[in-house]
Homo-oligomer: A and B are copies of this chain.
Amino acid sequence: TAVMAPILLNCMGNDQNEYIKQQVQVKNPYLDTMEEDILYHFNLSTKTHNLPEMFGDIKFVCVGGSSNRMKAFAQFIHQELKLPGNPEEIKDICEGTDRYCMYKVGPVLSISHGMGVPSISIMLHELIKLLHHAHCHDVVLFRLGTSGGVGLAPGTVVITDKAVDYSFCPRFEQVVLGKVITRSTELDEGVASELLQCSSELQNFPAVIGNTMCTHDFYEGQGRLDGALCSFSHGEKMEYLRRAYEAGVRNIEMESTVFAAMCRVCGLKAAVICVTLLNRFEGDQIASPHDVLLEYQQRPQILVSHFIKKRLGNIV
């Protein structure tokens, strides 16, 4: 096969580099037959916007739940990459809709996705179509989030090994036309270890690699005793968290399984980086002072910024 490779490359055209580029793979045979594709929740369309011109140079996509946080990240990465212009004047590309916000900073796209699997899944469908229409290649996706920690000190950053469901399995159940299908939720191991290496290069930066449990609600599904509904005891809660810990779960959030599953199907390298706001073995309420929580939330941003700068050669 080593002998065959150059011949194959030549068959694909003169530009050998073009061939090895990792394209974004939409898995929909109908898409390229459509005259127009309206990305409804972004308020963008292939007819009204020149997507290759607007987004063709994107190499890193960073997503997170809160719109304020993703705007702050865009301004932060603007400063970190020492790009020209005023970071305060960054414009929301999706300003015609309030479903998501989107900021472009050089090769970095920063997008909010709201809370929960359905909300991030709508965003991911339209993002993957956007990257496809814009002919992007070699893109890495990061989810930068907040989470509940399982046996970790608050403020610890968890780089996700496997995204697991409520029974600690690395799978995502998707309903397609009334039938349940299962997708794998494995993430890119290389990106995860590269992120762990980055964390060791930062000072006083507590980070671990562990499994991340993704639930479909914040209260009963995560074993909280402080929701409007609670039918279990403190002991039963602790037992469930203990079993999660034994299965390698180090944090709990609400989007990682579908994020991992969709990126995997579409050939996108992806990582999940969430800071823990509390240790769930010690409580349910997020009671830390505002400024402490704000500092915690900057940690995934600092880590991903370091990763991006290294990849771009800004750090030797």
Q: Which residues of A contact B (CB under 8 A)?
A: 26-31, 34, 36-38, 40-41, 65-68, 98-99, 114-119, 121-122, 124-126, 128-129, 132, 166-167, 174-178, 215-221, 223, 225-232, 236-237, 240, 243, 254, 262, 265-266, 285-287
**A72 → B minimal CB distance (Å):** 11
CB distance from A58 to the nearest CB of B (A): 16
A216 and B166 contacting across the interface, CB-CB below 8 Å? no
A312 CA / B176 CA spacing, docked (Å): 45
B residues in contact with A167, CB < 8 Å? 178
Add 18 more A-B contacts to A28-B227, A125-B217, A177-B232 (CB < 8 A): A27-B228, A31-B226, A36-B287, A37-B285, A114-B119, A115-B119, A117-B216, A118-B217, A119-B119, A121-B218, A124-B228, A126-B228, A132-B228, A166-B175, A176-B232, A177-B240, A178-B243, A228-B266
Contacting pair A175 B132 (CB below 8 A):
no
Contact A265/B229 with A174-B221, A219-B125 known, Cβ cut-off 8 Å: yes
A128 adjacent to B217 (CB under 8 Å): no
Contact call A223/B177, Cβ cutoff below 8 A: yes
Q: Is the CB of B237 within 8 A of A177?
A: yes
List 14 interface pairs A-B (beta carbons < 8 Å), by A numbering: A28-B230, A30-B225, A31-B226, A37-B226, A99-B115, A115-B119, A119-B119, A121-B216, A125-B217, A125-B218, A125-B228, A128-B228, A166-B178, A176-B221
Q: Which of A66, A114, A229 has the most CB of B within 10 A?
A: A229
The secondary-structure label for the interface of chain A is loop
Chain B residues near A218 (CB, 8 Å)?
41, 118, 121-122, 125
CB neighbours of A40 from chain B (8 A): 285-286
Contact check, B226 vs A34: say whether CB atoms are below 8 A apart: yes
When A68-B98, A118-B119 are in contact, do A229 and B178 touch as well, CB less than 8 Å? no
Closest chain B residue to A68, Cβ basis:
B98
Residue contact B115 to A118, C-beta cutoff 8 Å: yes
Contacts of A262 in B (CB 8 A): 228-229
Q: Closest B residue to A215 by CB, please name it.
A: B175
Residues of B within 8 A of A266 (CB): 228-229
Query: A218 → chain B, closest Cβ, in Å?
Result: 5
- Across the two chains, which residue of chain B brings its CB closest to A27? B229
| B177 with A38: CB separation less than 8 A | no
Contact B175 A216 (CB under 8 A): yes
Rounded to whole Å, the gap between the CB of A68 and the closest CB of chain B is 5
Contact, CB under 8 Å: A228 / B117:
no
**Bound form: Cα–Cα A254–B115 in Å:** 13
Q: Given the complex of chains A and B, what is the CA–CA distance between A216 and B27 in angstroms?
A: 19
**A41 CB contacts on chain B under 8 angstroms:** 218
CA gap between A170 and B125 in the complex, in Å = 28
Residues on B with beta carbons closer than 8 Å to the beta carbon of A217: 117-118, 121-122, 125, 174-175
Given the complex, which residues of B lie within 8 Å of A66, measured CB to CB?
98-99
